Amino acid sequence: MLKELAEAGKQKLTTATKNLVENTKLKMTFSNQQKNTDKLFTRLMVDKVETNLFENAQFGKWVTSVSKSYSKSPEAGDMAMVVTLTARYGDEALASMLAAAKDVPSTQVLGAKLMRAQDSKWITEGKTADDVFKLLKLDETTDDFLKSPSLTRWTQYVKTVSKENPYEMLYLKLSKRYNEEELANLLVGAKNELSTKNIARDVEVYQLKRWTNSRKTENDVYKMLKLQNEEPTKLLQNPALNTWISYVKTLNDDPYDELLWKLAKHYNDNEKLADFIFASKNVPSTNIIADKLEKQLPILWLDKRKSAEDVFTLLKLKNMDEANIFENSRWNTWVDYLSLKPNPDETMFMVLKKHYGDGGLSTLIENAKKSESTETIAIKLQEEVWRKKKFSANDVFQHLELSYEGGAFLTSPALSAWISYATKLGKINQGSRADLAAITELEKHIHYDKLARMIGDVMYQATQDKNVALQKVVGTLQKQQFKQWKRNGWGERQISQRLGLTSRLRGQMTAKNIHIFLQLVAIAMVCTCTDGNILNRNLDGSQNEIHRKPHLRFSTTADQNDDTSEDRVFGVTTLKNVAATGAHMISSAANNFVSDAKLKMMQQSTNRMFNRVQVGTVNSNFFESAQFNNRATSVQEHRKSNAAIVVTLPNRYGDETLACMLTAAKEVPDTKDIALNMLKAQIDNWVVQKTPADEVFKILKLDKAGYKPE
């Protein structure tokens, strides 16, 4: 293979190149004009210019005159100028001059144009990549030839006439001139210079491939680069180290893990090794590698069977006071080490208690609570304090001064800490039901239906206030409660009846009650549709129903045996609240749907909800509500829910009316965004349904629209 690559420079010209040759030959038939070009060069005394040729005024006049005489064949004119310049300066010098001209803004365009003409000249003369390499005297240059502008010129020519990679060809030429060690060091040095680093990196790629093909180990290359002779304190600053790191990566090994073990042999003292790495993080030239090594330290210590207290000591954390320990970067390294051990929170607690005592540990916890970055640590340590005192979840609830009466505990900042502790105890004591520990504890003191309504009230208010943090904390309890009910085998209708939700709606059809009802139904939908039993159900195309699975029902009737469903026609404001809230809840649930069958079930559920609240009676200002604006973001994030709503609305209004409504809503600032999104969804729906273009034309009433000149 190497022999074939070595001969690549002598390959035949491609078809495209041959065509270029033929075209160029035709352009060179202007022999008389060529003579005139040469004479004009002398007459204008351009040949007397010694410096900055391309910026010289006489040279500019010459270029202008030649371009005019070749106005019908500009490329032939460029060729004529190159022929004249080559006769005066030679190929190598001209190539260097053109390369330099390309780097000067005022001569960049001219330099590039003449460079292309020089390529054409060489192609016409049948010069291969090897020929040009010699013509540019690259085979005669010294070790600094990587700095030569002619080298860049050669790589550009190879790309023009050959399909081979010029850097691979260059590597093969260099490998004949230098042995592996010499070439490796040459490229290492070149990578550290601005003018040569790019070409050196490109060539190094093939050097690494050569090492891989010859099955060199990482240790072979480490020795070849003489890194084993480097002082440990200077190793990270050695440019050759980056070459070694690149090679180890090609072997699919972790170079920083390998390097750390090599350093560990030099530093028998783990404390000195840590000191060296942390000191290197403060040096700009070594901070990146040092940061990688720091992340490997915990694994090294684990392999060496260091205890948590050993690591705490060698990181010199024992010398830190309670007020400053969290600000030390070594603290994070210790925490990373603890994460590799069983029961990391308990281990952290035991080590800190031993070093600081009960009083010092309390101070440390209080300090950790003051910063968001260390608040989690404070919670974990506090949980361990409670656990060592054998506090139950109820004990901590009382300790945090939370009360089961009135529901105020749901908005307390201390609630998240209690949920975390209850969950931790659950993992220790309850095993598989740990994810329900918090809600299980609460339901010991508050009846489930009352608790559900309390949670619903808080979630509603948090939504209205846009209190994301509160929604997240209380939402955790709400999801736990529904999971528990589903595990108990309760269906959506049972949940609705047990909580008295439908009766509550019948008694007082407020926006708040509707929100809570739909919120609970949406969560129930997620629980139902993410049930493994539904994933493989088939969709009945004629009925659009999921086989053997009860569907969600939006009913205002409390008794499931009562067929007299009490559908109501609400006021426009309440109606829009229902529609918007239902869409938002289904949108949130949609993120859990992964099949078209489930999406269709959502559409059916949405249809039923619209039926129950008689959305079809609304015929104006449908989209002008704060609720619809508030759900714009949700619609954008959950495209499937958007599709579900848009598929539902035409069933109520028809495509034509819906299009008119959306078009009108698009002109109102408050509803512009939601209207645009739903218009896009309507178009997507037409595409899915394969609605003919003519039909869409009529739906949009374009067949009735007249031309109105401006």
- Contact (CB, 8 A) for 200 and 187: yes
Whether residue 84 is contained in a domain is answered as yes
Q: Is residue 166 part of a domain?
A: yes
- Provide the pLDDT for residue 240: 92
pLDDT one-digit tens code per residue, 569-625? 334 444 444 444 444 444 444 343 334 444 454 445 444 544 443 333 434 444 443
**16 located within any domain:** yes
Measured in degrees and rounded to the nearest 5, phi and psi for residue 545 equal: -120, 150
Structure tokens given for 25: 């030959």
pLDDT band of residue 653 (cuts 50, 70, 90) is: low
pLDDT at 94: 87
d(C-alpha 415, C-alpha 435), whole Å: 16
Domains in the chain: how many in total? Answer: 1
Query: CA–CA separation, 27 vs 152, rounded Å?
Result: 27
pLDDT tens-digit map of 97-119: 888 888 888 888 888 888 899 89
Q: Is 199 inside a domain boundary? A: no
One-letter identity of residue 644:
A
Q: How confident is the model at residue 150 (pLDDT cuts 50, 70, 90)?
A: confident
pLDDT in tens, 302-352: 999 999 999 999 999 988 877 778 888 899 999 999 999 888 999 999 999
- Tell me which amino acid residue 685 is: N
With contact defined as beta carbons under 8 Å apart, do 575 and 628 qualify? no
- Domain assignment present for 125: yes
Residue pointed to by tokens 């040729």: 53
Does 203 map to a domain?
no
Can you name the residues that pair with 539 across neighbouring β-strands? 546
Alpha-carbon distance of 261 to 251, in angstroms, equals 17
Angle at 265 between CA 259 and CA 266, to 5 degrees: 95
- The verdict on residue 55 lying in a domain is yes
Residue 388 lies in a domain: no
pLDDT digits (tens, 9 = 90+) for 246-279: 999 999 999 999 999 999 988 877 889 999 999 9
List all residues 6 or more positions away from 412 whose beta carbon is below 8 Å from its beta carbon.
400, 402
DSSP collapsed to 3 states, 433-467: HHHHHHHHHHCCCCCHHHHHHHHHHHHHHHHHHCC
Spatial contact of 107 and 113, defined as CB atoms under 8 Å apart:
no
Angle at 206 between CA 202 and CA 210, to 5 degrees: 160
pLDDT > 90 in the chain, percent:
22
State which residues form the domain around 49: 1-177
